Amino acid sequence: MNTCTMSDFMRRAWQAGTAIPGFNVPYLPMMAPIVQALRDTRCFGLIMVARPEWMKFQSKGIREVYEEYQRVKDTRCTRLHLDHVPVIDEDGLRVDYMADLGLAVELGYHSIMVDGSRLSLEENIAATKKVVDMAHAGGIPVEAELGAVMGHEEGPLPPYDELFESGKGFTDPQEALRFVRETGVDWLSVAVGSVHGAISAARKSEKKVEARLSIERLDALQALVNVPMVLHGGSGIRKACVLEAIRHGIAKINVGTAIRQPYEALMGESVAKAQEAAYAATVQAVREELELENSVDKIYVGG
Ligand code: 13P
């Protein structure tokens, strides 16, 4: 029996210069093939669900995801993470985030994320601190976000090159330092050029723009912030940028669109075919795009 927490696994990945991929589950039948892909590639990864995935897709809810996880988990290669519970959601509505995050801690998720990135810095600090206090009392690490990783909102994105060149919305290093100190958050999701794949019904099948990452900004952040950093919007980023980011402090990469779209393309035909597509896409992400095959040897030690 391994007694390491998600906090230990993340620190180990961070210190080894590798990363833990997190795969989103917007449809419950996707979970089994993702677990199988992680097992087959010997990659240590997270199964994740974010609030939009039970509100707008078909993952049903925090409890249902937990139950499916118990059924299909691999105790060596996988852990369960509650991704994006926003304080204000992508449609601008306030969320009872403490209730959702509290339920995940109570059930036994291994880590959770509060997303206060649509708030002012002060409000984001206050909301994140409240979640950290609650989760740490239960021994569960917390991820939070500072800066704007766009894409979940309804409308189209501004032209990507403009967005990247201007650095608009990128995480500010001094703010990050203050944020981490005052909240006690375990991992920080940073905005350095990535964008989320669209999730609105009208745009969710669109091909994602090939994002780039500012390694300079990552270095500036890591110089001040002594916690592992997280990269959201992990699908379709230029490969050289992703590999470089892992060497510069990114210890967790969230991947949603790259496995959701292949599943959705076949789910009308049959669940089995869609599951095969999700499996193939997960193997491809681990092996080809992130080069994280066999990472379990670096991250999971003992028991
Ligand atoms: P993509 O869907 O762009 O891979 O982003 C996933 C994500 O960041 C979930 O938190």
Strands 111-115 and 142-146: parallel
The secondary structure of residue 207, as a DSSP letter, is P
Contact (CB, 8 A) for 123 and 86: no
In this predicted structure, the answer to whether residue 190 has a pLDDT above a threshold of 90 is yes
189 lines ligand 1 (CB under 6 A): no
Report residue 231 as tokens. 């990269």
Which CATH code of 1.10.10.10, 3.30.70.920, 3.40.1790.10, 3.20.20.70 fits the domain covering 18-299? Answer: 3.20.20.70
What pLDDT is stored for residue 198 in this prediction? 87
Instruction: Give me the mean pLDDT over the 234-246 stretch.
Output: 97
pLDDT of residue 34: 99
On whether the pTM is more than 0.85, the answer is yes
Question: From CA 152, how far away is CA 91, in angstroms rounded?
Answer: 9
The token duo for 300 is 């999971």
> What would the mean pLDDT of 94-114 be, rounded to a whole number?
98
pLDDT at 1: 60
Tell me the mean pLDDT in the region 154-162.
84
Task: Read off the pLDDT band of 107 (50, 70, 90).
Answer: very high
- Index of the ligand 1 atom closest to the CA of residue 257: 2
Cα(187) to centroid of ligand 1, in Å?
A: 16
For 6-24, write each residue's pLDDT tens digit.
999 999 999 999 999 999 9
Which active-site residues does the annotation give?
Answer: 83
Task: Return the best residue to mutate from 231, 254, 263, 284 for the ligand 1 pocket (most ligand atoms within 8 A of CB).
Answer: 254
Question: Residue 8 has which token pair?
Answer: 């230990």
Q: Is the CB of 83 under 6 A from ligand 1?
A: yes
User: Which SS3 state, helix, strand or coil, does residue 255 take?
Assistant: strand
- How confident is the prediction for the chain on average, in pLDDT? 96
Whether 104 shows a pLDDT value over 80: the answer reads yes
Residues 149/233, Cβ–Cβ less than 8 Å: yes
Q: Could you give the CA distance from residue 112 to residue 21 in angstroms, rounded to a whole number?
A: 15
SS3 label, residue 235: coil
Question: Domain segments of the chain: what residues?
Answer: 18-299
- Atom index in ligand 1 nearest the CA of residue 151 equals 3
Q: Measured in angstroms, how far is the CA atom of residue 196 from the centroid of ligand 1?
A: 5
Among 45-59, 134-148, 157-171, whose mean pLDDT is lowest?
A: 157-171
Distance of CA 303 from the midpoint of ligand 1 (Å)? 31
User: What contacts 24+ positions apart, CB below 8 Å, involve 95-102?
Assistant: 95/51, 97/127, 97/131, 98/130, 98/131, 98/134, 100/51, 100/62, 101/131, 101/134, 101/135, 102/134
The pLDDT score that the predictor gives to residue 303 is 56
User: DSSP secondary-structure letter at 289?
Assistant: I
Check the CA dihedral 215-221-225-227 and report its sign.
negative
Please state the rounded mean pLDDT for residues 83-105: 96
Residue 102: the pLDDT is 98
Structure tokens given for 127: 């909301």
Residue 4 has pLDDT above 90, yes or no: no
Q: What number of residues does the chain have?
A: 303
Q: Return the HEC string of 19-63.
A: CEEEEECCEHHHHHHHHHHHHHHCCCEEEEEEHHHHHCCECCCHH
Which residue CA neighbors atom 9 of ligand 1 most closely?
254
Does the pLDDT at position 299 exceed 60? yes
